[in-house]
């Protein structure tokens, strides 16, 4: 416990001076890539979480939890080149442990360990990555993931289409701006690599490089393939021809690739393309094809994907719309600039890696990029004149005269016992003006005012803070009146 506290600096003057010296230097003890959240930020986060959880539950998901750390061997070899970003913990008496990198691998381990063959689950928890933080773009070393996964043997593309429907619902409800959901299939990529002349042992590493196309121009991607990964220039050029022209399509693009002389020679690619066509037929029924595009340049670098993959990104128009709402004077670095805001795919082989007999459980899922969404929502809140409430208090119990502390405490107790969210000022004789100002500053909509006359008459004066309207309510009717008025707000 005491190991978490930094050592007090040596100071020859006094303990107080030492504490003040520590206070001045506290920023040295804040870890890079982490942050604190104030009440306003937490209120925004809670609203976003509620939207996401409500969507997950609407689609029939139940929730689980797993430990924040796993055996190192559980995580090793699952993330491709990103495995170097795993946080390893100090050897704990022979156990090599690591902080979880995502929620998918622990979920697969959970399924295998508990012999679960079908479940629809969501999981919201923190994960950890030794990444280079970019705080203004919502990239941290400690951050939340919001995952939705469907495990079990089902007919092709039905669960996959529902995952995309969920992404569409969440991003639409959060009103982040215009977005696109790009889809591809690992089998199509592997087939493309094969017909372009990529050696089998380079599939995964070339896939990781293709995954950088949304961040780097093609020439830089090609240079990495050839100079760093050892791919022939001819093979790289053939990949470039495909990814350059095969973007932003749908069923028509899948059909065109099925007719392509080279791609049609790959059974893997043909199976993936057929499933893409089937996927889009379900997406039409789910009414989300306006935002979904088939993009052959989408790769997603994680090793465990086996089939359909997808990623949701804000369009430049969407990002610009948010940035234009920012306060005047914000520089380019402070404005919102985000990458993908959701991603996922099918991973049919991952559970089998943890099962002693290698039994597979087909899985497909999506992870919402919650921190990037928070960055956007926070900037929108800063630019907006709308006040963000940080509490849910429905009514303030106030007094108009002195010596009414006991009466205020009796009334607030009645309200609490009735399930009303209420607050009282912690002073014996607070000024009425101070109590009313507190309500305006905190966004509390109602004030229940007690005075000598109200006590004699058995009523409470209920004041609507926004309009300053005041009405006398019988004390027996106060709870129902508060509920009625706050439900209408």
Positions at the binding site for L-histidine: 102-104, 129, 145, 149, 300, 304-305
DSSP 176-191: ---EEEEEEEHHHHHH
Query: Of 86, 163, 106, 211, which is closest to residue 367 (Cα–Cα)?
Result: 163
CA 385/CA 18 separation, integer angstroms: 42
- What whole-number distance in Å separates Cα of residue 422 and Cα of residue 444? 9
CA distance 399 to 417: 20
Which tokens belong to 313?
A: 């990104």
Distance CA 154, CA 158 (A): 8
Q: Is 171 helix (H, G, I), strand (E, B) or coil?
A: helix
CA–CA separation, 186 vs 305, rounded Å? 7
Query: Of the candidates 152, 224, 239, 230, which has an alpha carbon nearest to the alpha carbon of residue 188?
Result: 239
**Helix or strand run (H / E) with residue 294:** strand 292-294
CB 444 within 8 A of CB 438: yes
Burial (CB count within 10 angstroms: exposed 0-12, middle 13-18, buried 19+), residue 88:
middle
- Would you give the DSSP letter of residue 99? E
The residue assigned the tokens 């005075």 is 451
Residues 6+ apart with CB under 8 A from 337: 136, 137, 319
User: 365: which strand partners?
Assistant: 149, 345
CA distance linking residue 470 with residue 138, whole number of Å: 46
Q: Are 408 and 422 in contact (CB under 8 A)?
A: no
Nearest to 144 by CA among 305, 310, 424, 372: 372
- Contact in structure between 193 and 206 (CB atoms under 8 Å): yes
Residues making up the binding site: 102-104, 129, 145, 149, 300, 304-305
- CA 348 to chain centroid: 24
Per-residue b or e along 410-429, where b marks 16 or more CB atoms closer than 10 Å to that residue's CB: ebbeebeeeebebbbbeeee
CA dist., res. 141 & res. 132, Å (int)? 8
Question: How far apart are alpha carbons 110 and 313 in whole angstroms?
Answer: 30
């Amino acid at each position: 416990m005491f190991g978490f506290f930094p050592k007090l600096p040596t100071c020859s003057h006094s303990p107080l001076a030492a504490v003040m010296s520590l206070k001045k230097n506290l920023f040295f003890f804040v870890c890079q890539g982490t942050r604190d959240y104030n009440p306003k930020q937490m209120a925004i986060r809670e609203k976003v979480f509620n939207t996401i959880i409500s969507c997950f539950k609407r689609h029939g998901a139940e929730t689980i939890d797993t430990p924040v750390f796993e055996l190192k061997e559980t995580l090793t070899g699952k993330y491709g080149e990103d495995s170097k970003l795993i946080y390893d913990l100090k050897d704990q008496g022979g156990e090599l442990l690591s902080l979880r990198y995502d929620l998918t691998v622990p979920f697969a381990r959970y399924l295998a360990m508990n012999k679960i063959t079908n479940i629809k689950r969501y999981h919201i928890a923190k994960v950890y990555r030794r990444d280079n933080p970019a705080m203004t773009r919502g990239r941290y070393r400690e951050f939340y993931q919001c995952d939705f996964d469907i495990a079990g043997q089902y007919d092709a593309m039905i669960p996959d289409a529902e995952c995309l429907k969920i992404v569409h619902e969440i991003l639409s409800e959060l009103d982040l701006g215009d977005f696109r959901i790009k889809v591809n299939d690992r089998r199509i990529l592997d087939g493309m690599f094969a017909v372009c002349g990529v050696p089998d042992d380079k599939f995964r590493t070339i896939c990781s490089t293709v995954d950088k196309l949304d961040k780097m121009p093609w020439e830089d991607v090609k240079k990495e393939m050839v100079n760093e990964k050892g791919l022939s220039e001819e093979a790289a050029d053939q990949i470039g021809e495909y990814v350059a022209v095969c973007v932003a399509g749908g069923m028509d693009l899948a059909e065109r690739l099925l007719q392509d002389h080279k791609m049609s020679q790959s059974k893997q690619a043909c199976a993936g393309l057929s499933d893409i066509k089937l996927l889009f037929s379900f997406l039409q029924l789910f009414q989300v094809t306006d935002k979904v595009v088939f993009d052959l340049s989408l790769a997603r670098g994680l090793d465990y994907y086996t089939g359909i993959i997808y990623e949701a990104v804000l369009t430049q128009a969407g990002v610009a719309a948010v940035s234009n709402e920012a306060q005047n004077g914000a520089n380019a670095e402070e404005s919102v600039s985000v990458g993908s805001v959701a991603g996922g795919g099918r991973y049919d082989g991952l559970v089998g890696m943890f099962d002693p007999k290698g039994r597979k459980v087909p899985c497909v899922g999506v992870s919402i990029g919650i921190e990037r969404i928070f960055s956007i929502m926070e900037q929108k809140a800063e630019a907006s004149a709308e006040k963000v409430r940080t509490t849910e208090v429905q009514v303030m119990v106030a007094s108009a005269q002195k010596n009414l502390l006991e009466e205020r405490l009796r009334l607030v107790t009645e309200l609490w016992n009735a399930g009303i969210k209420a607050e009282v000022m912690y002073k014996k004789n607070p000024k009425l003006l101070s109590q009313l100002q507190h309500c305006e500053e905190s966004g509390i909509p109602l004030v229940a005012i007690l005075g000598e006359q109200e006590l004699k008459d058995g009523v409470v004066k209920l004041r609507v803070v926004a309009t300053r309207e005041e009405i006398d309510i019988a004390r027996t009717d106060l709870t129902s009146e508060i509920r009625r008025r706050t439900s209408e707000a």
